[in-house]
A and B are shown apart, each in its own frame.
Chain A
Amino acid sequence: NAGVTQTPKFQVLKTGQSMTLQCAQDMNHEYMSWYRQDPGMGLRLIHYSVGAGITDQGEVPNGYNVSRSTTEDFPLRLLSAAPSQTSVYFCASSFGQTYGYTFGSGTRLTVV
């Protein structure tokens, strides 16, 4: 099992560019989520999904879009990148909200 796979591992964007961070899991988990990690801020929830076709906003959703067309994939789209979105992004999945999450290894994004 690969677990949770995130691509790319590193990305540099110019302000205003858009891009999609990919996340895929092969554990048949219903619940998937995206977090951003900034120094001193811990992990903050961006968006989450409790199953295919269902998504909802987390704590810091502005500037990001998600969709969940399949159980396996949960891409995160940056609509118009801003320097404030420079961060490390983690995708996580679990059988449900009450269970421990499995995290991917992260995407390190720099917006210049």
Chain B
Amino acid sequence: GQQLNQSPQSMFIQEGEDVSMNCTSSSIFNTWLWYKQDPGEGPVLLIALYKAGELTSNGRLTAQFGITRKDSFLNISASIPSDVGIYFCAGQPYYGGSQGNLIFGKGTKLSVKP
């Protein structure tokens, strides 16, 4: 089936650093979403993207819908301790006129540098 490759799998951040992560696929997607999950909680929607090339911000977070429709990027500027968690990308694949269910990447785990 469809797969999303999310990278990196994990990363360590120091307060104030900028963070980047991305999701790629071999297939075209109609929608890209970025979620954050805190321990013991469900994922919470951060940013939704609906058009190729779209660049959307939510505070210190910025996400882009890749122009090829096969990838998306999330940047976090000036990270703070509460940014720690697992970030998931999710995409809705395009099936030649019909739309499929959301597919999730395996997540990027952000931790604080020891």
**For the complex, what is the distance from the CA of A48 to the CA of B102, rounded to whole Å?**
11
Shortest Cβ gap from B90 to chain A (Å)? 8
A104 at the binding interface (Cβ < 8 Å): yes
Contact code string B17-57 (vs A, CB < 8 Å = 1, else 0): 00000000000001101010000111111001010000000
Tally of chain B residues near chain A (CB < 8 A): 25
* Number of A-B contacts defined by CB within 8 Å: 53
* A42 near B107: Cβ-Cβ < 8 Å: yes
B92 at the binding interface (Cβ < 8 Å): yes
B68 at the binding interface (Cβ < 8 Å): no
Q: Which of B45, B50, B92, B105 contacts A42 (CB 8 A)?
A: B105
- With A40-B106, A59-B1 as contacts: A98 and B42 at CB distance below 8 Å: no
B65 at the binding interface (Cβ < 8 Å): no
* A97 near B43: Cβ-Cβ < 8 Å: no
Q: Which of A41, A59, A90 contacts B42 (CB 8 A)?
A: A90
- Measured CB to CB, the nearest residue on chain B to A100 is B45
Shortest Cβ gap from A71 to chain B (Å)? 19
A75 at the binding interface (Cβ < 8 Å): no
- Measured CB to CB, the nearest residue on chain A to B6 is A42
A105 at the binding interface (Cβ < 8 Å): yes
